[in-house]
Structure 1
């Protein structure tokens, strides 16, 4: 069964990097969003199981996306991937339901371990 993953980041380079970091043994369908508004639109119209989410994006930031998801009856797992590694930001995103907070640039092995811990591998 294919896992639908949404990669939401305003940097096309970062989105490509995150997609390349997904383990090859993971059968994925990947969707992309260039900002928080696009992410919410994608999430509201598609069955997404996993979100790789940047925090700093235009229109609606990653915290806004997490706030939207926290109001939904069911929501995908969210892994925040950000260069903004402030402890307060980490606390906020985890309180809003993020499963993990990973540092940019994304490390393939760290992502694989996180996916294993969350039961995807």
Structure 2
């Protein structure tokens, strides 16, 4: 399966998402902030990144912009509790492939992740 980098400052959110994705056999790498996420992205070369928007230091949008500027083919899914249409449109314009709402619903998460992975391969 895929190698997925989960970026979220909430350890609870990372654990929930990790549990969902591991059920499908995905290999999980975790980062709790933007700087670590960018470093891990280039060290580990994950197939996909899930990215929270609200984090201390670099925001998720800043991380997304940096990843896309350094690797136009980066497969990033934003995972956020922000339900505003404007936010979803903005991150997709920056380069996010999809948006997953929190709290996570396992079936929806897997559907979105699998769709993005299939498009990217």
Aligned to 1:48: 46
Q: Does 1:5 align with 2:10?
A: no
Deviation of 1:74 after TM superposition, in Å, equals: 4.2
Q: Does 1:69 align with 2:67?
A: yes
Aligned to 1:17: 16
Distance of 1:13 and 1:29 partners within structure 2: 18
> Aligned-pair RMSD on alpha carbons?
1.7
Q: Runs of 5+ in structure 2 lacking a partner?
A: none
Distance of 1:54 and 1:65 partners within structure 2: 10
TM-score for the superposition, normalised by structure 1: 0.88
TM-score for the superposition, normalised by structure 2: 0.88
Instruction: Give runs of ≥4 in structure 1 deviating > 6 Å.
Output: none
Distance of 2:50 and 2:71 partners within structure 1: 20
Q: Runs of 5+ in structure 1 lacking a partner?
A: none
Count, aligned residues: 118
Deviation of 1:48 after TM superposition, in Å, equals: 1.0
